[in-house]
Amino acid sequence: MTEERTLTIPLPSVAPTGFEIDRAEPMHDIWGLVMGNQNGRIQSIEDRMLMATLRAVHEGFDRLIPCAICATSSGEARNER
């Protein structure tokens, strides 16, 4: 098993308001927006880098406060079995 690497970053803030994103749920909206704009085109390396960054930020927030969206999805998946 490989050692997990981490990075400490400031809370993301939305310009120009300075509103801080402090939980995982908004990452789902951003992910949906980016993926919705694909329109069937092949993802560029920049798209893939953005998605990797979103996944990492989501995971970091999820470790602090579990994501309500993921918890709901996981619960539904478990109930379907």
Q: How far apart are CA 56 and CA 10, in angstroms?
A: 13
> Among 27, 15, 20, which residue's Cα sits nearest to residue 57?
27
Q: Is the pTM of this model over 0.85?
A: no
Give the pLDDT confidence of 39-76 residue by residue, as tens digits. Answer: 778 888 998 999 999 999 999 999 999 999 998 876 55
For residue 16, whether the previous peptide bond is cis, meaning omega lies within 30 degrees of 0, is yes
Domain ranges of the chain: 24-33+44-81
- Give residue-wise pLDDT tens across range 7-47: 898 999 999 999 999 999 999 998 888 888 877 788 889 98
Helix or strand run (H / E) with residue 14? strand 13-14
